[in-house]
A and B are shown apart, each in its own frame.
Chain A
Amino acid sequence: MKKPQVSQLADNTVDDPTRPVELILGGNDFTSITATVSDIVLERKTPRAWYLAFFATAGLTGVLFLMIAWLFIRGVGVWGLNNPVGWAWDITNFVFWVGIGHAGTLISAILFLLRQKWRTSINRFAEAMTIFAVVCAGIFPGIHVGRVWVVYWLFPLPNNQAMWPNFRSPLLWDVFAVGTYMTVSLLFWYTGMVPDLATLRDRSKTRIQQAVYGFLALGWRNSHRHWHRYEKAYLLLAGLATPLVLSVHSVVSFDFATSQIPGWHTAIFPPYFVAGAVFSGFAMVGTILIPARKWFGLEQIITKHHLENMNKIILATGSMVGFAYATEFFIAWYSGNPNESFAFINRAFGPYAWAYWTMVTCNVITPQLFWVKKLRTNLAVMWIMYIFVNIGMWFERFVIIVTSLSRDFLPSSWAYFRPTPVDILTFVGSFGLFFTLVLLFIRFLPMIAMAEVKTVMPIADAHSGERRSVGDYHGDIPAHIRDGGDRK
């Protein structure tokens, strides 16, 4: 089948409220969608670039585990932590990764319930990313404790000491929140993938593929009853996951909000953290999607319209985050609490001013460029912006955690935090793990929800012929479209 070039695709970012947006371009039909997605896994030769990337990321994963091994052998002292700053990169990384995980649930659950059809092209990817990000996130609280060999005491396990964990501690709430989130996200992802796994099973050529995909497909036979149950389950899971989108990062923010350190002790944290999490999650999805859709020729499925919608969400959540920053300052002044005021003045003008202004630049100022349509539909611009947001959101957590701890109530204990190479390599290594998992996912699982995409295609709609979809070729209509009649 012919693969249309980007220049030959309709520009579906054109606004025309009278017509529905065409979400799948390139004259695709059900067959071509199935082929495009499943061939990546089953037919196409693994590109050399994949191997190169995989070895690079697996290497970094190795670095991560080496660093963790060194940490376990020597102790938490291998990091740059000190007395006032008891948490720094460890918890920053934890919150950063958990935050990234939020895009998945938001897209899967909330956008599903809101019937946002465009989610179908990116939800599988985003959900996968959620799982991987939570895997990365889960590492940090696990390894940051001093006596890692008894970390299981954090779980409410029956034991001979008859000791329960302290249910008043937000760290324990974290255990439950992140644990629940991980479980539901995994279920959601897997449930949604069952019909596609069955497709892969049916198209498998080798015994192993047939066995593995067959096992994973849970005996899916595409029957009406299956579909009925599936839709019910999916809806229920979406309903379950929706509060989680709000709860996980709210609970994570309680780690700080319920403490009494100035800069942590603020009621605004739960909504502010959730907005920030969605913000960073979408940026990370975009960071990976842009190259992936290009390398695997998925531009007609993950169109600019999808990306533009994501950018709008980024603009919205970025502005919320900016508003939260402003509110923090306002409250610091309005509360009349001198320690609180100092915490914020210190953030902006103290020794960590560089980190604070990096954060503000990346999270508040640059995303405002997305008000301009030309910029938010430009692939290069948006990709750079995603990177900015990723950086900015990491710094946001760093600023909150480290600046607050480094200067609290008694000036005698103030200190400055400097990371060690182990800190840095552990963080870099966590990216290695994340991208290794992403690469494995791309190689072995359907990265686009084929079944779901098909439901939003015009041909799935009996009345599609009556409406002409939005789209602009900015020039001549390509021959294949013209000849194909553009589905009038």
Chain B
Amino acid sequence: MSAYSLEPGSGSPYWRSLQELADTEEYRHLMEHEFPGGIEAPDGMSRRRFLQIMSASIAMTSLAGCRWPVEKIVPYAANTPGIDPGTPIKFATTMELGAAAMPIMVTSYDGRPIKIDGNPGHALSGGAASVFAQASVLGLYDPDRSQTVRRRGGVIGSDSDWASFLAWAQTRFAGGLQGVAILTGATTSPSTQALLRQAAAKGAQIYLHEPVCRLNEMRGLRLAYGTAAMAQLDLSTASLIVDFDANCLQDHPTALRNAKAFAAGRRAEAGSMNRLYSFENTFSTTGGMADHRYPTAARDIGPAVWALAAELVLGEHLELPLGAGVNAAQLGAWRGHAAGGPHIAHLARDLMAHRGHSALVTGLRQDPDVHALIHTLNAALGNVGHAVSYLPFELPPFGLIDELTTQLNGGRVATLVVLGGNPVYDAPADLNFGAAMARAGERIHLGLHDDATAQVSSWHLPAAHYLESWGDAQGWDGSLLAVQPLIAPLYTGHTATELLSALVDGTPRDAHRITRDTFFALAGGQGASPASEADPAFEKRWRAFLHDGFLAGSTRAGVALPFTGAALTAPANGPALGGDNLELTFLQDQSVYDGRFADNAWLQELPDFMTKLTWDNAALLSPATAKELGVVHSDLVELQYKGRSLQAAVYVLPGQARHSVTLTLGYGRDDAGRVGQNAGFNAYKLRTWDGLHRGDGLKLGKTGRQYQLAITQDHHAIDKVGAAEIQKRVPGLVREGTFEQYHNEPDFVDHLGIHSPPLISLWKEFEYTGHKWGMAVDLNTCTGCNACVLGCQSENNIPVVGKDQVARGREMSWVRLDRYFLGDPDDPRCAQQPVACVQCEMAPCEQVCPVAATVHTREGLNAMVYNRCVGTRYCSNNCPYKVRRFNWYNNFEDLTETQRLVLNPDVTVRARGVMEKCTYCVQRIEGGRSIRDGDITPACAQTCPTDAIVFGDLNDKDSRVSKLRELTRSYDLLDYLNIKPRTFYLARLRNPNPAIAGTEGHGGDHGGGHAEAAHG
């Protein structure tokens, strides 16, 4: 809530009376807007106002003067048939993030969306949803969202309205769109793209800016195949996967589908298991799942790929496809290159053995040539058409932000329209976009927040949240996806399509009309879409589209493409990396993405899977590098890079490549609202256009100061005694073996962990004759994607406590992902384990509660009676898993009325002083009508992309969970305590290459950071 020229009470009354006396224009404006902007402050939306919007016949636009057609929503005066108040309804819609559209299913309670899950009907989701999608529902109710149209830099005050804007725009753009530049984020929406094309046809220049951009990928495809395409990855058919800095299970546009397919290939009971190799500089979830992981500086990934190609072509005599951009002679110099690591020959042999059943993938940080070479190798190995295929499409003729900056600086842009995004914050630092933008005559910004870009704009227009919007999108598999509103805009927001329509259409269309028209046009219709009565067949298709959330049958099958023959340039690295020449890499953040979720408290407090860091990013360094540079964890250091500098805290991350520093994007925003304000360090200040993803020459200077990082595991540095114990203890906790071992010795898990005398009961135990709920967690397929953590948070009204409280060890999350590193800190293995309340049958917590606030149900749930709890915390002390969470303060007192709307009415909001914990989503069990296996699913299991969590009735011998219980690799965590947990784990299996496993016991140097030989 900032920058009102005249906030109530800010001016002196004398000044005001003089104004009144003078009857100036400002005063009249003030009078018209009696409550300038601040009317809804500080909350943003009162409950009364919300109810008005919800139940009265409020238009989707709240202004009579607006020239978009007013659309009525039927009042709730009479009950709508088929809708029961208090019964949740689900709607399918789509969330776009970058170029990835995610089909989702939203649960709405009496008109307010409260929970987001994946759309189970669509292959891109399969019922799973990413953390970003799940948390976006909180963004809808963000009280810091922009609420009014603002006119800045004009004669009068900054508060305006849509009617004034539209009137202004009509005059301004009456003569066409010459001199207009439109800057948009990556969008797959056919409607938006069509409108952008129309705008271009009317003379506007279109530019694209996406901080986490996939340009390298597209350029690589163009280099190899001469066309842009969506590269399809079908890991279900791949028995060997090599991930070169792609993090394909997490950061890929089809990450959820990849994870599901990958997990399907990991189910050892099916008789085979895929194998995953990973080359990356920062430990990712994909690296954590890898059977072989090679910490490799980002700049050495290219050489590693070339080394692999050389080994394949020269060592294994793999034939390159026709039109490939390399030949054997070029590859000669790369054979045995250090960047490939010690096992590259084994990898090549392994790939040869899995021809047609493997997949190579590289990520957005690698150069186009590396992408092209990967495509070449995939084709040579016969993978194209199986695990890899392509959906070619035409890239629209958009410019990029560097060209826009040039245009702006040249004074050739009269009007700049920024459609969402925050380029002033996230454009590369060397473009100095803020200053360039100020040179445009008029600057129109449509955004969810009054952010840095809004501040530079002459018009700021509040955008509608996607949950308030009509729209469409295209999935990575080519399918047409629906975006439909769950709620009328809480504030006065409009969509980008509506704004574009106001610019290009004679009569502005509303988003619903635009979407319908596009849908009609895509089906071959001409002109405007028919009214609902006019064309019943069309209407039926449209309804089915909205119901399903996608157009059935619109998924396209990938194809193979011919190579262009364009020559590939071999990677050329500069001087060797070292303590005074570090590599700096930029990575999308797993919490705030590129900064757009900085004001989302769920995401800010979501611990990064590897670092367990909340509320901050940090400069990630390998233990060896930190030692060499003489810095330790949480030191504040000065990053000096390309003449710029930034202070950031050090996080020493095991498994980070030597001399490679990673900084995630999206932090350090000073325009992020009350949640994300100034959290972390702004990587964009170091990011330049010529090295969007990485660069050399980073120097690290000490400041002598410390910075507090809030980390949810290892809350403080572990001493030697503790570290040694962890190494000793973890193999018994997170049990794992190899696929081969499992085959030869199926009960190997029983030999891990602490051996105890026979466990006997002192008394006759309760017999569970009805349901006996239990849960299986398969460590072999859990990737650590955090989806369950967020799903639980959203379902169970888990409060956010803030950085200070997390630093004190008071995070509230009911599910936590335990992550341990084993072995050499510079090249460790990662062991992960989701832990929530395991619902012990002999629950230690129940014995010690003096007021019987935690008791056992007949179905074996360890129930928590919130209103009986007095808060002695004895249960938590006695819990060997430490999964109970205590409300140290009233965690809900600071929530605004708007923020409270996101709460799930089926779950009690816990008071101060009360203990809470996982309940197996008891509200879903109690609400379950049918009791067939799978009818009741806790939130964590529902959203798990890899189905690693399975819930069901252990008394039902045919249930999935009972069958998993029978597997020999199932085990109970801390079984020797004889507390009989209902949640059990399935041991992780690794599938190492036997040839490499034989050579293991290495000194830990995979040569990752030492590929200094100058090639090419």
For A80, the chain B residues whose CB sits under 8 A away are 808
- Least distance between B727 CB and chain A CB atoms (Å): 10
For B713, the chain A residues whose CB sits under 8 A away are 412-413
From B718, which residue of chain A is reached at the shortest CB distance?
Answer: A414
Q: Given A75-B888, A169-B874, do A411 and B729 touch, yes or no (CB 8 Å)?
A: yes
Q: Chain A interface: which size bin?
A: 35 or more
- Least distance between B868 CB and chain A CB atoms (Å): 7
Interface SS of chain B: helix, strand, loop or mixed?
loop
Q: Is B847 a contact partner of A169 (Cβ separation < 8 A)?
A: yes
- Least distance between A406 CB and chain B CB atoms (Å): 10
For B721, the chain A residues whose CB sits under 8 A away are 345-346, 349-350
From B612, which residue of chain A is reached at the shortest CB distance?
Answer: A412
- In angstroms, Cα B976 to Cα A339, docked, is 11
Q: Given A165-B850, A410-B881, A412-B835, do A171 and B725 touch, yes or no (CB 8 Å)?
A: no
For A410, the chain B residues whose CB sits under 8 A away are 733, 818, 835, 880-882, 973-974
- Cβ of A84 under 8 Å from chain B: yes
Q: Given A342-B725, A411-B729, A412-B819, do A350 and B719 touch, yes or no (CB 8 Å)?
A: yes
Within A71-88, the residues touching B (CB, 8 Å) are 74-77, 80-87
Q: Given A82-B809, A410-B818, A412-B819, do A154 and B870 touch, yes or no (CB 8 Å)?
A: yes
For B733, the chain A residues whose CB sits under 8 A away are 410-411
- In angstroms, Cα B870 to Cα A175, docked, is 15
Candidate in A154, A171, A258 with the most chain B CB atoms within 10 angstroms: A171
Q: Is A77 a contact partner of B847 (Cβ separation < 8 A)?
A: no
The residue that A86 contacts in the complex, of B816, B833, B873, with Cβ under 8 A, is B873
Q: Given A86-B874, A412-B818, A415-B716, do A147 and B913 touch, yes or no (CB 8 Å)?
A: yes
Q: Is B886 a contact partner of A86 (Cβ separation < 8 A)?
A: yes
Q: Is B877 a contact partner of A261 (Cβ separation < 8 A)?
A: yes
- Cβ of B810 under 8 Å from chain A: yes
Q: Is A75 a contact partner of B913 (Cβ separation < 8 A)?
A: yes
For A462, the chain B residues whose CB sits under 8 A away are none
Chain B, 703-744, contact with A by CB distance < 8 Å: what is the 0/1 string?
Answer: 000000000011110110110011011100100000000000
The residue that A259 contacts in the complex, of B730, B844, B872, with Cβ under 8 A, is B844
For A163, the chain B residues whose CB sits under 8 A away are 851-852, 868
Q: Is B716 a contact partner of A75 (Cβ separation < 8 A)?
A: no
B interface residues, how many (CB within 8 angstroms): 60
Candidate in B715, B820, B872, B913 with the most chain A CB atoms within 10 angstroms: B872
Candidate in A75, A151, A168 with the most chain B CB atoms within 10 angstroms: A75
- Cβ of A172 under 8 Å from chain B: yes
For B876, the chain A residues whose CB sits under 8 A away are 83, 86
The residue that A413 contacts in the complex, of B716, B882, B912, with Cβ under 8 A, is B882
The residue that B889 contacts in the complex, of A74, A84, A168, A339, with Cβ under 8 A, is A74
For B911, the chain A residues whose CB sits under 8 A away are 147
- Cβ of B5 under 8 Å from chain A: no
Q: Is A411 a contact partner of B722 (Cβ separation < 8 A)?
A: yes
- In angstroms, Cα B880 to Cα A386, docked, is 38
Interface SS of chain A: helix, strand, loop or mixed?
loop
For B890, the chain A residues whose CB sits under 8 A away are 75
Chain B, 815-831, contact with A by CB distance < 8 Å: what is the 0/1 string?
Answer: 01011100000000000
For B1013, the chain A residues whose CB sits under 8 A away are none
For B657, the chain A residues whose CB sits under 8 A away are none
- Least distance between A354 CB and chain B CB atoms (Å): 12
Within B896-920, the residues touching A (CB, 8 Å) are 911-915
Candidate in A83, A163, A405 with the most chain B CB atoms within 10 angstroms: A83
Q: Is A411 a contact partner of B725 (Cβ separation < 8 A)?
A: yes
The residue that B810 contacts in the complex, of A77, A255, A349, with Cβ under 8 A, is A77
- Cβ of A150 under 8 Å from chain B: yes
- Cβ of B645 under 8 Å from chain A: no
- Least distance between A288 CB and chain B CB atoms (Å): 32
The residue that A169 contacts in the complex, of B820, B850, B888, with Cβ under 8 A, is B850
- In angstroms, Cα B193 to Cα A339, docked, is 62
Q: Is B878 a contact partner of A260 (Cβ separation < 8 A)?
A: yes
- Cβ of A459 under 8 Å from chain B: no
Q: Is B722 a contact partner of A259 (Cβ separation < 8 A)?
A: no
The residue that A145 contacts in the complex, of B716, B818, B852, B870, with Cβ under 8 A, is B870
- Cβ of B805 under 8 Å from chain A: yes
- Cβ of A166 under 8 Å from chain B: yes
Q: Given A84-B809, A411-B730, do A145 and B913 touch, yes or no (CB 8 Å)?
A: yes
For A86, the chain B residues whose CB sits under 8 A away are 873-874, 876-877, 886
Within B628-668, the residues touching A (CB, 8 Å) are none
For B477, the chain A residues whose CB sits under 8 A away are none
From A172, which residue of chain B is reached at the shortest CB distance?
Answer: B850
- Cβ of B568 under 8 Å from chain A: no
Q: Is B912 a contact partner of A166 (Cβ separation < 8 A)?
A: no
- Cβ of B885 under 8 Å from chain A: yes
From A345, which residue of chain B is reached at the shortest CB distance?
Answer: B721
- In angstroms, Cα B887 to Cα A86, docked, is 11
Q: Is A351 a contact partner of B722 (Cβ separation < 8 A)?
A: yes
Q: Given A76-B888, A165-B850, do A84 and B882 touch, yes or no (CB 8 Å)?
A: yes
- Cβ of A407 under 8 Å from chain B: yes
From A417, which residue of chain B is reached at the shortest CB distance?
Answer: B809
Chain A, 152-171, contact with B by CB distance < 8 Å: what is the 0/1 string?
Answer: 01100000000111101111
Q: Is A165 a contact partner of B871 (Cβ separation < 8 A)?
A: no
- In angstroms, Cα B726 to Cα A165, docked, is 39
From B811, which residue of chain A is reached at the shortest CB distance?
Answer: A83
Within B99-125, the residues touching A (CB, 8 Å) are none
For B995, the chain A residues whose CB sits under 8 A away are none
- In angstroms, Cα B849 to Cα A74, docked, is 23
For B850, the chain A residues whose CB sits under 8 A away are 154, 165-166, 169, 171-172, 175
For A407, the chain B residues whose CB sits under 8 A away are 722
For A151, the chain B residues whose CB sits under 8 A away are 870
Q: Is B848 a contact partner of A170 (Cβ separation < 8 A)?
A: yes
User: Taking beta carbons and an 8 Å cutoff, which residues of B are in contact with A?
Assistant: 713-716, 718-719, 721-722, 725-726, 728-730, 733, 754, 805, 808-811, 816, 818-820, 833, 835, 844, 847-852, 868-874, 876-878, 880-882, 885-890, 911-915, 973-974, 977
Q: List 27 A-B contacts (CB under 8 A).
A: A75-B888, A75-B890, A76-B913, A77-B889, A83-B811, A87-B874, A146-B873, A147-B869, A164-B852, A168-B848, A169-B874, A171-B874, A172-B850, A175-B850, A258-B847, A259-B848, A261-B877, A342-B729, A345-B721, A409-B882, A410-B818, A410-B974, A411-B733, A412-B713, A412-B819, A414-B722, A416-B715
Known: A342-B725, A408-B882, A415-B809. 13 other contacts (CB 8 A): A76-B873, A81-B873, A87-B877, A145-B871, A146-B887, A147-B870, A166-B852, A338-B729, A338-B754, A410-B973, A412-B818, A414-B722, A415-B716
